[in-house]
Amino acid sequence: MSSRRPEPIRLVISNSPPGSHAKPINLTQVLKLAGVVLNGSEAKAWISDGIVKVNGAVEIRKRRQMMIGDRIEIDLDNAPPIILIPESPDDELDDLDLDGDGEAD
């Protein structure tokens, strides 16, 4: 039986320009909004344990500010990656690595 990589969760975030009233989103919030953790305490524990990677590097900052195009991976069996995409359908997705192969799609 082959182990298949789960499909990524595409989480839509605001793409408002700096200086606007949109609030930035942090790593803990992303994990909660994507539905991979039950609450903030679980998200913080996963980050503290070093099982959360952002763009391929282990991230231990719970309040790390996330940006469009960031890719979150969780070092647990069958945990899907999370990709942050823009909220506007007019924005280009071509520059984002949606399938995790290290190249823009």
User: Which of these CATH numbers, 3.20.20.10, 3.10.290.10, 3.20.20.70, 3.40.50.300, describes 1-15+22-105?
Assistant: 3.10.290.10
Per-domain residue ranges of the chain: 1-15+22-105
CA 79/CA 19 separation, integer angstroms? 35
Give the mean pLDDT of the chain.
81
For residue 1, pLDDT over 50 is answered with no
For residue 15, pLDDT over 70 is answered with no
How many other β-carbons are positioned within 10 Å of the β-carbon of residue 73? 20
Q: How far apart are the two ends of the chain, measured CA to CA in Å?
A: 28
Q: Render pLDDT for 35-75 as a digit per residue (tens, 0 to 9).
A: 999 999 999 999 999 999 999 999 999 999 998 889 999 99
| Cα angle 74-76-78, degrees, rounded to a multiple of 5 | 100
- % of residues, the chain, pLDDT over 70: 69
85 pLDDT band (50/70/90 cuts)?
confident
